[in-house]
Amino acid sequence: MSISLLANLEKITATRDFASVEHSLLKAIGSTVHVDELSLWSLDSRYEVTKVLHYHRLVQVREGGMERETEHIDTVYTNIEVAPDYRSLAETVVLSKRSAARKRQDGTLHMFPVVSRKAITGIVSMQVRDELTEQDRALIHGILGVYANYYALLDESQRDRLTGLYNRHAMDLNIERMWSLLGSDAHRADPRRNGVVQVHGLAIIDIDHFKKVNDQYGHILGDEILLLVSRLISSCFRRRDPVYRYGGEEFLVVAGAESPPALATLFERVRAKVEAHYFPQVDKVTVSIGYVNIDPGLSPFENIGRADRALYCAKERGRNQVQSFDDLREQGLIKEMRYGSTELF
């Protein structure tokens, strides 16, 4: 086992950032096996590809003829196209939960499943010129085992125990990185597809009069309502739109849509879905939602502040409604003063 492989295995378990763990996985495999192509595909519960990481190993020739190897990883979130031969091999891997290979003119395409809690959450795809040895395969399976186990532990530590949503700590860890990706995710039109993300919104969702529910019916029923509401909210969003339990009865979500009106419709659908649901004993529960069309030029926490201000207006106006910070500002109902990078309301 090489020193570089050991170093990359150490890196897999040395961070609490999901992206860094994924990068370390690809670097560990890339340092073990000579590959022409190497990618990590993230899959949703329907086995559709939601994200692809492409690994590149480049040799740079410096002055004096000295060679230097560098590693690069590109991330693709939108407009992901999977070639038919790749898709058919991936289907074999998903169905069998085992690695599979296919001979090609320029080498062999190998795919390995990433299995977490007995479910396939991803696929590692690699193109190699020479056939993999049994030792190569054993090392790759070992690396994937370390990765999957650590990823599951990391995921569990960042989940709210009651609802299963990401917790406030996970938001604090991931939101800065997520912010840096918003620009690369938007404005990538593909005429062959509908629903291309053009705008992102950040919403804070609050259960109306939740304290009364706890006071009148007790915390056991209150927890059941929190769980049901969290599932209703999550069902309205794509897997890649993170939903967090932000506070006691508050949830925060960052979601994409093809236009501002579509974003408004999405959050209204969340409100209506909760209102239409029958809840045991209490019958009816509603939520108030405040959201903002994300301005990447502002910090994440300034955008959160704007959404929170819109939520406050929704509560002031009678609850069980959706309010947009941008609409409220345009109507002159929210007056904004800026001092440096700080907003004062």
Residues catalogued as catalytic: 249
User: Among residues 30, 106, 101, 108, which one has the least CA distance to residue 69?
Assistant: 30
Between CA 224 and CA 230 the distance in angstroms is 10
3-state secondary structure at position 85: helix
Between CA 8 and CA 27 the distance in angstroms is 7
Between CA 290 and CA 55 the distance in angstroms is 39
Number of helices and strands (H, E) in the chain? 10, 13
Distances (CA, A) of 174 to 134, 194, 307: 38, 28, 18
Between CA 13 and CA 25 the distance in angstroms is 10
3-state secondary structure at position 110: strand
Q: Which two tokens stand for residue 55?
A: 């690994």
Between CA 228 and CA 272 the distance in angstroms is 14
Residue with tokens 């009816």: 284
Residues 6+ apart with CB under 8 A from 307: 202, 203, 204, 252, 290, 291, 292, 325
Distances (CA, A) of 142 to 7, 139, 153, 201, 318: 15, 5, 17, 40, 56
Confirm if 337 and 344 have CB atoms less than 8 A apart: yes
3-state secondary structure at position 94: helix
**What is the enclosing helix (H) or strand (E) of 260?**
helix 260-276
Length of the chain: 345
